[in-house]
Amino acid sequence: MTYELTLFYQDIASLLKIARAKAYQAVNSLMVETYWQIGRRIVEEEQGGKHRAAYGERLIENLSKYLNAEFGKGFSEANLQNMRKFYLCYPNFPKLSDNSNSCEFPTQCVGNLSWSNVRRIIRIDNPQERDYYLLESAQQNWTFRQLERNIKTGYYQRLLSHQKNEQNILEVVPEESFIKDPYVLEFLNLPENIDGKESLLENAIINHLQQFLLELGKGFSFVARQFRISTETEHFYIDLVFYNYLLKCFVIIDLKTRKLNHSDIGQMDMYVRMFDNLKRSQDDNPTLGIILCQDKSETMVKYSVLNENKQIFASKYQTILPSEEELAQLLDKYYLDE
């Protein structure tokens, strides 16, 4: 087979892959919208009061039997209950007029989601949390597995805990909506106590870089490890350097496998100032610095430069996946410390 013929075959295959992807997206969007419409009709029928009470009590049961007989599997009572709840969660769901992936309002993103993601999201009680996962799932193309992991690890609550209040994450200043506390790094497969072994933590992060980027959040790209920054007389090495294309700034991370202390804060303050002075371009926003530590004193955070400095943050990390109860206790402790 000639090189030109191989390119021809690959070009045809590429066209088919693109067409299939577009067809899947269109079918998926139509299916999600149809399920919302079914949910709306169920609610309208329940509220209409035109039928006998006994019939109304068994409305979804009877509808399930009818639809399964007419169309086959896929219309269980549980699934119809999900469609009903979908409508109740998002009664103003708009029809999508285009295939744009940018979403101004959370409800406009539903058509970009799989039904499995929608079913998982509507199980969340908090409306703001529900909207956050809806928006992020659509914009970041989260798989169901990624969505489930983020919900189980309290992704939204960990972002919110950094805000120190109950303000909606979707409304805060950009840099604050990107910092979590704590970060959950169970995918590194490290023991809980790695005190004094920063190189072990760094190597594990590099070996699981894709998962670490997902945990960091949206817009991050990896730049370097042990990034050297030099003055006229000395060399300094920053553990990890990233660039966030949404914030349009560098994000430098210093790893500490022990409790945060004053020198760590001073060191990061120096790193951020040096990076801004020596590496930041004219088009970049100010550099952000994250001290990723095993533990920290909230009193130290409150009375140090971390309290007012909008470029430096300190967050804890966990190498063990917390249970829902442990995560709730951890976040409760955070608010009490505040």
Give per-residue pLDDT as tens, 251-282.
Answer: 999 999 999 988 999 999 999 999 999 999 99
This prediction has a pTM of 0.74
Question: Is residue 242 a contact partner of residue 223, using CB atoms and an 8 Å limit?
Answer: yes
Residue 251: strand, helix, or coil: strand
pLDDT at 201: 94
Tokens for 166?
Answer: 């109950």
- The region of weakest confidence among 34-38, 97-101, 172-176 is 97-101
d(CA 304, CA 291): 14
Q: Which residue has the higher pLDDT, 110 or 78?
A: 78
Return phi, psi of residue 276, to 5°.
Answer: -60, -40
Closest CA to 114 of 92, 86, 91: 86
Beta-carbon neighbour count of residue 161 at 10 Å?
22
Give per-residue pLDDT as tens, 196-251.
Answer: 889 999 999 999 999 999 999 888 999 999 999 988 888 999 999 999 999 999 99
pLDDT at 106: 56
Q: Which residue has the higher pLDDT, 46 or 237?
A: 237
Question: Is residue 123 a contact partner of residue 133, using CB atoms and an 8 Å limit?
Answer: no
Give per-residue pLDDT as tens, 150-191.
Answer: 998 888 888 877 665 445 555 544 555 688 888 999 999 998
327: exposed, middle or buried (Cβ count in 10 Å: 0-12, 13-18, 19+): buried
60-63 long-range Cβ contacts below 8 angstroms, 24+ apart: 60/84
Domains and CATH numbers, the chain: 3-152 (no CATH), 158-337 (3.40.1350.10)
Question: Is residue 140 a contact partner of residue 102, using CB atoms and an 8 Å limit?
Answer: no
Q: State yes or no: pLDDT of 132 exceeds 50.
A: yes
d(CA 182, CA 133): 18
Closest CA to 186 of 218, 219, 150, 159: 150
Question: Is residue 251 a contact partner of residue 218, using CB atoms and an 8 Å limit?
Answer: no
Identify the band that residue 53 occupies on the pLDDT scale cut at 50, 70 and 90: very low
